[in-house]
């Protein structure tokens, strides 16, 4: 917080002169900002919110309630007016020296309002309290809209919360004490740095605002992240296959083929040696193959789920079998790759292909009957906008998906970083996980629409069958030994929904685990950290709630439990294998070339 001495220095003529000069530099940068925005391509407006029908239905429902029960509206309004008038009266009293500063302290803990000035300064205290009063009034009004379908109520709550978060006083310079203090302390340099950060972010994404979460200059793929030793032993238009060097003298006969999601890069599982699942797996004595997907451009417009399965999953499995001279592999699929691995296993069942001995799914949805936090984005108006956005280019840009995920946690992943970067002029932190999070991938248009329409919206894999390669694929066709690892606080693939999908699979040997933490931290949870535990229960017959009620809690990572399960399905020990063979020569060192392709390249 700024001290009185600093304020005295800050009000000197010399200080104001330097502040004025810096404000002129801010104005120059703002001109650059205008130029960038003038050349911005833009995106379909339907991706910014629901169509007007939702708000029209909500307004009609609310108006109908008013006509039927006007006393209820008056009660709400009087309460709102009363709180607003009392808040104003308190501010006036404090300004007149008659009241106690920050008298209303019993507000919920909110990191946005950590600066003492939110309580001690009458102006900022008034602004904060009025924002909280307004937020409560909006949420109360939305909760009173009853005459809507459950999905519409969910969407109305979500988008009204987005408006509330967007209008927080912390998001605006005149009502953000941290930013104002920093501007005075630095004589406006923080605003110059912030404007430069904004210009840089817009230029990096062709005029679209995607807030950088990490200092990209601090990381080098293959330098200080994704450093596990391995070789690219195969490449086609869809993927590179990396075979990692063994770290033991002998290995299990059956190799592992790991399929990461193609929405992000594979190195989430190899950020650094201390938490690398890839490194840990090789240390347990396994031959490990990992797929590194291409970051597609417009040339991939007609690539769909069939191409990912045929040229990706099936090809990788065949290559691993060929190189290791075995008939079967153990397969792993993470997130959307776990969903697609399940489709692949159902297809292989139809074809009588027994190349996969066991499967492990990491946070993989296969039953989409409950759309959870993604409900607002999986309705026809939003998906229709995605289809139009794909348009002639045939590719869904990575920032669309990144933005969707980020706004599920808007204050942490959008507004908080934006304030630090653009208002305070700070350099984003050198955080490897956030660097990976910002290194997204585009999606082929055909694949994205198939996934959104057939799996997410119509839930065909769980209800009636999802058609690929002329076959109708069902969850019950997945009948090989399987372990599903889910995460307790995962908002992308909620564990309860994953559980429902595993329940419907046809195998007799099914193991289900719920790790503590979320979509990433619950999976990237090395035993050495001893941070997050996990839940186990062999009874998969009941509801998700019954499963958790009967589950046992286990301290520490699930990795050793999974490895004990896996080694029973991995055969005898054989001499450790060097990457590649005469038919599949080494092409280049890991992490390969595809992982270095940026979405904007």
The DSSP result for 14-75, as a single string, is: HHHHHHHHHHHHHHHHHHHHHHHHHT-----GGGSS--HHHHHHHHHHHHHHHHH-HHHHHH
Distance CA 67, CA 60 (A): 11
Average pLDDT of span 122-145: 90
- Under a CB-based contact definition with an 8 Å cutoff, are residues 224 and 58 in contact? no
Q: State residue 69's pLDDT score.
A: 58
Q: Name the band, by pLDDT with cuts 50, 70 and 90, for residue 443.
A: very high
Q: What is the pLDDT of residues 250-276, one digit of tens each?
A: 999 999 999 999 999 999 999 999 999
Q: Name the band, by pLDDT with cuts 50, 70 and 90, for residue 7.
A: very low
Task: Say if residue 215's pLDDT is above 60.
Answer: yes
Task: Say if residue 107's pLDDT is above 70.
Answer: no
Q: What is the pLDDT of residues 319-339, one digit of tens each?
A: 999 999 999 999 999 999 999
Distance CA 118, CA 168 (A): 13
Please state whether beta strands 239-244 and 230-235 pair in parallel, antiparallel, or not at all (unpaired): antiparallel
137: helix, strand or coil? helix
Encode 485-539 in three state secondary structure: EEECCCCCCCHHHHHHHHHHCCCCCEEEEEECCCCCCCCCCCHHHCCCCEEECCC
Task: Say if residue 10's pLDDT is above 60.
Answer: no
289: helix, strand or coil? strand
Residue for token digits 């050198």?
430
Distance CA 127, CA 187 (A): 25
Q: State residue 64's pLDDT score.
A: 57
Average pLDDT of span 518-523: 95
Distance of CA 87 to the CA centre of its chain: 38
- Under a CB-based contact definition with an 8 Å cutoff, are residues 346 and 339 in contact? no
Which range is least confidently modeled, 14-28, 152-166, 261-275, 466-480? 14-28
135: helix, strand or coil? helix
Q: What is the pLDDT of residues 404-420, one digit of tens each?
A: 888 888 899 899 999 99
Task: Say if residue 141's pLDDT is above 90.
Answer: no
Task: Say if residue 51's pLDDT is above 70.
Answer: no
Distance CA 137, CA 139 (A): 6
Q: In sequence order, which residues have a C-beta less than 8 Å from that of residue 600 and are 6 or more positions away? A: 204, 205, 206
b/e string for 371-397 if b means 16 or more Cβ within 10 A?
bbebbbbbbebbbebbbebbeeebbbb
What pTM did the predictor assign?
0.88
Q: What is the pLDDT of residues 357-375, one digit of tens each?
A: 999 999 999 999 998 888 8
The DSSP code for 221 is B
Q: What is the pLDDT of residues 306-317, one digit of tens each?
A: 999 999 999 999
Q: State residue 62's pLDDT score.
A: 56
| Residues labelled as active-site residues | 335
High-pLDDT (> 90) share of the chain, %: 66
Q: What is the pLDDT of residues 92-101, one digit of tens each?
A: 777 777 655 5
Distance of CA 20 to the CA centre of its chain: 41
Which range is least confidently modeled, 202-206, 220-224, 332-336? 202-206
High-pLDDT (> 70) share of the chain, %: 90
Average model confidence (pLDDT) across the chain = 89
Average pLDDT of span 563-579: 97
The DSSP code for 422 is I
Q: Name the band, by pLDDT with cuts 50, 70 and 90, for residue 31.
A: confident
Q: What is the pLDDT of residues 464-503, one digit of tens each?
A: 999 999 999 999 999 999 999 999 999 999 999 999 999 9
Q: What is the pLDDT of residues 370-390, one digit of tens each?
A: 988 888 888 888 898 889 889
Task: Say if residue 104's pLDDT is above 60.
Answer: no
Which range is least confidently modeled, 225-239, 357-371, 390-404, 437-451? 390-404
Residue for token digits 């920032």?
399
Q: State residue 157's pLDDT score.
A: 87
In 3D, which of 407, 442, 554, 507 has the Cα closest to residue 205?
442
Q: State residue 379's pLDDT score.
A: 85
For residue 419 the two structure tokens come to 């304030």
Domains plus CATH for the chain? 40-185 (no CATH), 230-377+442-596 (3.40.50.1820)
Q: What is the pLDDT of residues 275-303, one digit of tens each?
A: 999 999 999 999 999 999 999 999 999 99
Q: What is the largest CA-CA distance in the chain?
A: 88
Q: Name the band, by pLDDT with cuts 50, 70 and 90, for residue 106.
A: very low
Task: Say if residue 111's pLDDT is above 80.
Answer: yes
Task: Say if residue 560's pLDDT is above 80.
Answer: yes
Most confident of 155-164, 302-311, 393-402: 302-311
């Amino acid at each position: 917080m700024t001290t009185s001495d600093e304020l005295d220095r800050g009000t000197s003529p010399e200080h104001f002169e330097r502040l004025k000069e810096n404000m002129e530099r801010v104005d120059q940068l703002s001109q650059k900002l205008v130029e960038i925005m003038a050349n911005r391509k833009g995106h379909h407006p339907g991706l910014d919110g629901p169509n007007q029908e939702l708000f029209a239905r909500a307004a009609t429902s609310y108006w109908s309630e008013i006509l039927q029960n006007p006393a209820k509206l008056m009660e709400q309004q009087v309460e709102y007016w009363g709180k607003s008038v009392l808040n104003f009266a308190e501010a006036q009293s404090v300004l007149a020296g008659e009241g106690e500063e920050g008298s209303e302290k019993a507000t919920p803990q909110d990191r946005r309002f950590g600066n003492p000035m939110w309580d001690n300064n009458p102006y900022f205290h008034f602004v904060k309290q009025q924002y909280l009063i307004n937020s409560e009034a909006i949420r109360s009004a939305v909760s009173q809209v009853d005459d809507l379908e459950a999905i519409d109520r969910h969407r109305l709550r979500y988008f009204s919360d987005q408006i509330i978060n967007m209008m927080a006083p912390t998001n605006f310079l005149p009502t953000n004490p941290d930013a104002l203090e920093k501007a005075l302390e630095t004589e406006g340099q923080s605003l110059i740095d912030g404007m430069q950060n904004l210009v840089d972010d817009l230029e990096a994404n062709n005029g679209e605002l995607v807030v950088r979460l990490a200092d990209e200059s601090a990381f080098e793929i293959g330098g200080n992240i994704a450093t596990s030793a391995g070789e690219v032993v195969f490449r086609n238009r869809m993927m590179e296959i990396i075979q990692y060097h063994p770290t033991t003298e002998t290995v299990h006969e059956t190799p592992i083929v790991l399929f990461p999601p193609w929405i992000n890069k594979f190195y989430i599982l190899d950020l650094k040696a201390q938490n690398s699942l890839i490194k840990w797996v090789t240390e347990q004595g396994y031959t490990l193959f990992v797929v590194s997907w291409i970051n597609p451009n417009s040339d991939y417009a007609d690539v769909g789920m069939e191409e990912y399965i045929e040229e990706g999953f099936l090809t990788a499995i065949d290559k691993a079998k060929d190189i290791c001279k075995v008939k079967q592999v153990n397969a792993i699929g993470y997130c959307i790759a776990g969903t697609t691995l399940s489709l692949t296993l159902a297809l292989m069942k139809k074809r009588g292909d027994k190349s996969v001995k066991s499967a492990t799914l990491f946070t993989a949805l296969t039953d989409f009957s409950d759309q959870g936090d993604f409900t607002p984005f999986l309705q026809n108006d939003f998906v229709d906008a995605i289809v139009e956005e794909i348009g002639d280019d045939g590719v869904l840009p990575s920032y669309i998906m990144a933005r969707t995920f980020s706004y599920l946690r808007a204050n942490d992943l959008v507004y908080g970083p934006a304030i630090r970067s653009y208002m305070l002029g700070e350099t984003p932190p050198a955080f490897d996980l956030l660097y990976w999070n910002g290194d997204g991938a585009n999606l082929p248009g055909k694949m994205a629409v198939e996934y959104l329409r057939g799996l997410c919206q119509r839930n065909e894999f769980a209800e009636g069958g999802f058609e690929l390669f002329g076959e109708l694929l069902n969850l019950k066709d997945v009948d090989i030994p399987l372990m599903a690892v889910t995460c307790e606080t995962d908002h992308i693939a909620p564990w309860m929904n994953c559980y429902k999908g595993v329940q419907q699979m046809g195998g007799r040997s099914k193991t289900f685990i719920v790790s503590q933490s979320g979509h990433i931290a619950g999976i990237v949870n090395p035993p050495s950290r001893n941070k997050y535990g996990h839940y186990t229960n062999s009874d998969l017959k009941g509801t998700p709630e019954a499963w958790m009620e009967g589950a046992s809690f286990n301290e520490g990572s699930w990795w050793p439990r999974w490895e004990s399960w896996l080694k029973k399905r991995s055969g005898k020990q054989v001499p450790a294998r060097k990457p590649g063979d005469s038919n599949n020569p080494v092409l280049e060192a890991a992490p390969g070339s595809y992982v270095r392709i940026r979405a904007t390249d």
